[in-house]
A = this chain, B = another copy of it.
Amino acid sequence: MPDSLDDLNRRLLAFARERDWEQFHSPKNLAMALAGECGELLEQFQWLSQAQSAQLDAVKKTAVGQEMADILIYLLRLAERLDLDLIAAVEAKIALNEQRYPVDKVRGDARRADEYRD
């Protein structure tokens, strides 16, 4: 993991340990907390048009940034508990996506991968 993510990971681990919160941080619980934060992110966007969602004012952008921070925080905590290298996982997924979605087949078409499997 890059230095910055690694540093955040260490700070988040220390934060949990100082509060004796590791007892609550099972992977199952962290996955729920992560999804709960995604729900809060959705609430920021649910009544906006797509165009409005691309033109947030400063107050809204800060609020959205806080929800995204919460998501990354729980994602890092979950990766730490599972001893999983997030950056390597993303690199592997990008390689897989390049196979599943060849440019000449999917250009301009956002249907899901499983709809192409036939």
Residues in A lying within 8 Å of B, measured CB to CB: 1-5, 8, 11-12, 15, 18-21, 23-24, 26-29, 31-51, 53-54, 56, 61, 64-66, 68-73, 75, 78-79, 81-82, 84, 86-87, 89-94, 96-98, 101, 103, 106-108, 110-112
Contact = CB atoms under 8 A, between A and B. Distances in A.
Contact of A34 (B38, B65, B87, B91): B38
Contact of A79 (B8, B68, B98, B112): B68
A19 to B, nearest CB: 5
Is chain A's binding surface mostly helix, strand, loop or mixed? helix
B84 A64 contact: yes
Q: Which of A18, A46, A66, A98 has the most CB of B within 10 A?
A: A46
